Amino acid sequence: MEVMSVSKLFSVLLIFSAFAASVIMSEASGAYGEDVVALAVEEAEAAVVSAYEAVLDAEQAGAKVSGLLARLNVAGEYLSDAHIQHRLGDFENATYFANLCDETAEEVRNEANELKNEAHGLRVTDLVVRMTGSIIGVVIIVFLSFLVWRAFRRRYHKRVLEMKPEVISGES
């Protein structure tokens, strides 16, 4: 009886472990399934585009983006590798490179946004300085011109008034 129950228990355990193993195996293969990998590559691609647009915004705001472009190139290389491995059917490496790309692009995007905000602040300050400088400059020029014109006019009138008419006597 006891031998029977032990063998039954062993059989149940064997079936259970076989079932568990098949579940684990299918999940493991599912982790690098084609759809999952395609989605990972697509997400990496979107992350790179988003980072690139953030860098463009920062550039338009007047920030220096050469450092960001260098790091974006690293993300681009990872994305190329992900695409190539995906085409070759190496889903594990494709996912690996897609994830690396995603992380790098995310970092670049965050830094680009920070740079954009900094550049925007500097641009506003620069705009205020330029506007104020220009207004003050124009006011000073107009005022000085008015003073110079008044002095010139006075001198001109004085010179005209001091002129003595010359009498040319006609001798015949």
- The residues binding other proteins (CB under 8 A) are 48-49, 52-53, 55-56, 59-60, 65-66, 69, 72-73, 76-77, 79-80, 83-84, 87-88, 127, 130-131, 133-135, 137-138, 140-142, 145, 148-149, 152-153, 156
Report how far residue 114's alpha carbon sits from residue 122's, in angstroms, rounded to the nearest whole number.
Answer: 12
The string of DSSP letters for the chain reads: -HHHHHHHHHHHHHHHHHHHHHHHHHHHHHHT-HHHHHHHHHHHHHHHHHHHHHHHHHHHTT---HHHHHHHHHHHHHHHHHHHHHHHT-HHHHHHHHHHHHHHHHHHHHHHHHHHHHHHHHHHHHHHHHHHHHHHHHHHHHHHHHHHHHHHHHHHHHHHHHPPPPP-PPP-
- Shortest Cβ distance from residue 87 to other proteins (Å)? 8
Q: State the angle between helix axes of 66-88 and 91-162 in degrees (0 to 180), rounded to the nearest 10.
A: 150
* Shorter beta-carbon distance to other proteins: residue 39 or 127: 127
* Shorter beta-carbon distance to other proteins: residue 9 or 84: 84
* Shorter beta-carbon distance to other proteins: residue 165 or 170: 165
* Shorter beta-carbon distance to other proteins: residue 1 or 81: 81
* Shorter beta-carbon distance to other proteins: residue 31 or 135: 135
- Shortest Cβ distance from residue 84 to other proteins (Å)? 6
- Shortest Cβ distance from residue 95 to other proteins (Å)? 17
- Shortest Cβ distance from residue 43 to other proteins (Å)? 15
- Shortest Cβ distance from residue 10 to other proteins (Å)? 48
